[in-house]
A and B are shown apart, each in its own frame.
Chain A
Amino acid sequence: MRKRTLRRGLVGFWWLTLTFLYLPLAVVVLFSFNAANSAATFTGISLRWYRQLLGNEQIVSAFVNSMILAITSSAIALVIGSLIGYGMYRHRHRKLGWLIVLIYLPIVLPDIVFGISEMVFFVRIYDLTGLFRPGLVTMIIAHVTFQIPFVGLIVYSRFVGLDPTLFEAAKDLYAAPVKRVIHFMLPTIKPALISAFFLSFTLSVDDFVISFFTAGPESATLPIYIWGAIKKGVSPEINAIAALMIGAVAIAAFLSLLFSQRRRT
């Protein structure tokens, strides 16, 4: 009897947690369809805010920046991170404790520390050489640096989950080094690569702090635009942007999860 009460209590708590997490998001999405001008009343469903978004050049350019930044940085991080992941796997038997810690560090470092360091670094280089003027390029570099550890760890864990004799079987079956990469390694870790790409993508789209410190005047992304816009008050337009971002990130996160859970034999 008591066990059942406890169970019901726990189930209730589960729903409470979900509500707590998702209610604010639901409100934002709901009000993005609001026909009224005010955020206080909901008068009916309309797509007027979404239409208004498309008419706002600043928003469209911020969206384009966000996409260029996310796709480019994810692609670069995928290449570098995979190599690191493979390197970690190949040398996993050596005592690399502190090196592994160095890989993890950017994950736990506060974004603001990371962002400020990057900014100081780029400004300094710019002062000295005239290269790396704050803009999309510096943002891409900054994003790649925080995406790499995630890619590395995903790829590493995929390799660790494999039967190590598979590498030997590939050699044994006449695969020369380059063919081993093309016909064995890449296809085997493909799900991990796709998963890592989408995770990097969501991390990039989500990021505000690091982008804020490394952006230039013309390279505002959506989060930076929102930050600027809400100083003037939360307009229903912001709700619409937020709703779109929630949708995009949710899809990317779902794809990342889907591919990371592909059967590993």
Chain B
Amino acid sequence: MKETTRSQSVDSPTERTASSTGDPVRQPSSIEMQGLHKRFGRDTVALNGVDLTIEAGEFFTLLGPSGCGKTTLLRILAGLEEPDDGRLAIGDRDITEAPPHKRSVNTVFQSYALFPHLSVRENLAFGLKMQGLAAAERDARVARVAEFIQLGDLVDRRVDQLSGGQRQRIALARALVCEPDVLLLDEPLSALDAGLRGQLQVELLRIQKRLGMTFVFVTHDQQEAMVMSDRIAVLNGGIIQQVGPPREVYERPANAFVARFMGHDNLYPITARDGDRLTTSLGELTAEAAGEGGLLLIRPETLDLLPGEVAGENHLSATVSERLYRGSHAEYRLEIGDTTLQATLNNRGRHLPEMGERVTVVVAPVDLVTLSE
């Protein structure tokens, strides 16, 4: 492909001058992935058959531990890696073979990757200049994005005068100013401290909602994924384990891997089953619409603790073996026979059971979920 085909392939940037970053003017794009495979060397399988559809205008997160394939998938979307097999389309255009500079996709890199030889302003204008926009047009677009992201006087600084958070915002602005069909974010907040991180999460989310642009976000932090995303795909071993909205992934994980990755520890093999009656090492429990799997999940925050011994359905006698008081809530470790159970209790001014206290754990049947190993 030659230069001449580029104006079409990059979505003719000159026609889009009116929109710029400010209001959701243009149609966002969907992404279609089919049977993506990628291996590195002989033994490392990064992606092992990924089928995924990302809706237009969605804030979509690829979540998983390091080495799960999420970064490889993002790099394939960017065109920085080529899949060994499978197809990839943005909107109705197949881009499996397109090199990165011919895709209307921009990336916010984990290391920000700001050009050290250029000023902040020149960094922001780089993508537009490479697309062949005239200087006046570039200046106008850069000014608009600087206002939109509220960069203020950062634009006139040198790259080496910026802090981590400022670099992050410049990197975001540099990608957004190109108005891509899809914006990719590779753990963009992981290098920042917790406070700044939370602040930028909110800002990023606001920007995405206002632009209505399709965002694909990569992170290993399940909290961040839940805060930000419309939908999450959890990956492990190059395979998608589950795709769904945050509540679904957290409350009804598809398997033990997803459950553990989302932070659940209360998983118990079901040893016997009689309709809704499930037997585990905790004792017998009644579940409502629990599903078919062989593993029972009890979320700590669904549990209630009553002082003393109280009889009743789904009431379990337990001893407090650990209590972590956290102000707004307290985290408990409970012993039921030889089995350990975690519970979280909101601090509503009620009695918070002490270490060594005998308590009764109450589980509502609707809160019990089963899943497969």
Contacts and interface: CB of A to CB of B under 8 A. Distances in A.
B115 A188 contact: yes
A169 interface: yes
Contact of B100 (A171, A188, A265): A171
A168 B106 CA distance: 11
Given A168-B100, A183-B126, A265-B116, A174 B131 contact: yes
Contacts of A187: 117-118
A57 interface: no
Nearest to B13: A174
B107 A169 contact: yes
A165 B111 contact: yes
Nearest to B126: A173
Interface in A59-94: none
Contact of A173 (B6, B80, B178): B178
B130 A168 contact: no
B79 A174 contact: no
B99 interface: yes
B115 A174 contact: no
B78 interface: yes
Contacts of A176: 3, 6, 101, 130
For A173, A175, A188, the residue with the greatest tally of chain B CB atoms inside 10 Å of its CB is A173
A188 B131 contact: no
A165 B187 CA distance: 14
Main secondary structure of the interface of A (DSSP, over half): helix
B115 A184 contact: yes
B100 A166 contact: no
B202 interface: no
A172 B130 contact: no
A172 B112 CA distance: 12
B206 interface: no
Contacts of B109: 165, 168-169
B113 A169 contact: yes
A169 B80 CA distance: 10
Interface string A146-176: 0000000000000000110110111111111
Interface residues of A, number: 22
Interface string B82-96: 000000000000000
B129 interface: yes
A263 interface: yes
A169 B172 CA distance: 12
A187 B126 CA distance: 13
Contact of B10 (A163, A174, A183, A263): A174
A265 to B, nearest CB: 4
A175 B80 CA distance: 13
B115 A175 contact: no
A170 B106 CA distance: 11
A173 B175 CA distance: 8
B159 A265 contact: yes
Contact of A183 (B3, B106, B129, B175): B129
Nearest to A263: B160
B117 A171 contact: no
Contact of B101 (A165, A171, A188): A171
Contact of A165 (B99, B102, B113, B129): B113
Nearest to B107: A172
A173 B118 CA distance: 14
Interface of B: 3, 6, 10, 78-80, 99-102, 105-107, 109-111, 113-118, 126-127, 129-131, 159-160, 174-175, 178
7 contacts: A162-B116, A172-B79, A172-B100, A173-B130, A174-B127, A179-B130, A183-B129
